[in-house]
Amino acid sequence: MLAFSPAAKNTARINHRSAASLAYPSSTALKMSDSGGSGGGGAAMQRDNSEKTGSSVITKDRESTDTQMEEDVFQEEQWRVILHNDEVHTFNYVISSLIKVIGTIDKKKAHDICVVTHGQGQATVAQGCYKPQAMKYCIGLQRAGLTASIAPEGKFEGSEPQAG
């Protein structure tokens, strides 16, 4: 004959509980922690304590922010795209190539650039643009078979006016 002791009755009741309620009493609230842990979806849980809120404040020193602002103030140099004369391409081909590559040039302005290039040997196609844009225009013109180059605005020594 088996006799149940009070300890045996408690053991039987515990076996019917779920594992989650066994580990943490139902009156204790749990929440996800933003700090620490493996970062894998719920692996890092903490009991809700009034001392730990799971939030933090990040502050920056004012000196480092001012220094950063001074470093960011860098004046990028402006560039111009120059078309050089070649005795190979027709005016119509050069005009259509300029319109296609530059995009903001209309037929009249492209014709004016051709006239200046033919008369003076070179003409400015675009000026006051940043280097990546100037390179894009120059490479586009070169792919069309035209002779083009770029030069920084400050160091440009050409005397011809902008066509148009």
Query: Tens digit of pLDDT for each residue in 52-90?
Result: 667 777 766 666 555 555 555 567 789 999 999 998 999
The DSSP secondary structure of the chain, one letter per residue, reads: -----HHHHHHHHHHTS-HHHHHS-TTS-EEE-SSSS--SSSSSEEE--SS--S-------HHHHHHHHHHH---PPPEEEEEEP-SSS-HHHHHHHHHHHHSS--HHHHHHHHHHHHHHSEEEEEEEE-HHHHHHHHHHHHHTT-EEEEEESTT----PPPP-
pLDDT tens sequence across 14-58: 444 444 444 444 455 555 555 555 555 544 444 545 556 677 777
Task: Give the domains, in start order, of the chain with CATH numbers.
Answer: 79-152 (3.30.1390.10)
pTM score, whole prediction = 0.52
